[in-house]
Chains A and B, each alone.
Chain A
Amino acid sequence: MPEIGTVRIRIPSRIRRGDVVRVRCLVIHPMEIVQRDKAGKPIEKNYHFINKVIMTYNAREVLQAETTQSMSENPFFSFAFKATEAGMLKITFLDTHGGKYEGTAEIKFS
């Protein structure tokens, strides 16, 4: 079992300049759901889940997401992006416990 925060990013193996391509990413994370006591009242605690996803392309922010516990465990996302220049695509996941997990993919043109 990979540890929390392992990020996997996949992009197509061949990209041409100007293509709109799909990037798929997955992060290993429990995405804790709200627990309830016997009376059905939610328990107050710092639930551990990813609440922000940021995608940058050569350090420019191109997409941001606010996520909740309604995302499945080990959340998966797929986004589009337009490959206009060679460089680095980075996806950062932030969680409610201050965790920061990053994955990068290098954009090269064939």
Chain B
Amino acid sequence: MRALGCLGVSAVLGAPGTALGQGNLGALQPEEKVDATLQRLFGSRPIKDGSGMIRLDMPLIAENGAVVPITIEVQSPMTPANYVRSVYIISDKNRRPMNAKFSLSPEIGAAVIGTNLRLGETTDVRAVVELNDGTLLMAKQEVKVTVGGCGG
């Protein structure tokens, strides 16, 4: 905590001289509510319930929010005519809900993605899947987080 405070002071001192563009706060995902994220990414396109097609594998309780494993598996033939184009991971209560976007091609043969997330607090985690015909599907699951994993 003390280290963070020091960094804060030095950054404030450095701020006036720092040209815009030095930092990349603006390039980060915006801090917003999850509804705004969905609106920004998908506009008014309907998002269908995809819980029958999307399998979300993640813990119900995560003791450490800094490392929360998640696996998303979408049932799809992954042929050039019918494949998963992108997979978004969105955590409702994170300050910046948009976590990651994966763009897939049919060549990978199966729409399976695993990674480790940081979750700030107990939250719903959504996987939004976009098929090549533009259909949006969503599945979500709540994860109880004992110790939050991000300050940002």
Contact = CB atoms under 8 A, between A and B. Distances in A.
A71 B118 contact: yes
B109 A77 contact: no
Contacts of B146: none
B23 A66 contact: no
Contacts of B110: 20, 80, 82
B36 interface: no
Interface string A54-87: 0001001111111111111101111111101000
A69 B107 contact: no
B11 interface: yes
Interface residues of A, number: 41
Contacts of B60: none
B12 interface: yes
Interface centre among B18, B119, B151 (most CB of A within 10 A): B151
Q: Per DSSP, are chain B's interface residues mostly helix, strand or loop, or mixed?
A: mixed
B103 interface: yes
A79 B31 CA distance: 28
B102 A47 contact: no
Nearest to A76: B116
B85 to A, nearest CB: 11
Nearest to A26: B116
B107 A62 contact: yes
Nearest to B95: A34
A41 to B, nearest CB: 9
A46 interface: yes
A96 interface: yes
Contact of A72 (B11, B12, B117): B117
Contact of B5 (A38, A63, A65, A73): A38
A29 B98 CA distance: 20
Contacts of B119: 70
B8 A35 contact: yes
B24 A69 contact: no
A2 interface: no
Task: List the 9 closest A-B pairs by CB distance, nearest first.
Answer: A82-B109, A34-B152, A78-B114, A44-B23, A37-B8, A20-B109, A70-B99, A80-B110, A33-B152
12 contacts: A20-B109, A33-B150, A37-B12, A44-B11, A44-B15, A60-B107, A63-B108, A64-B102, A70-B100, A72-B68, A76-B115, A78-B114
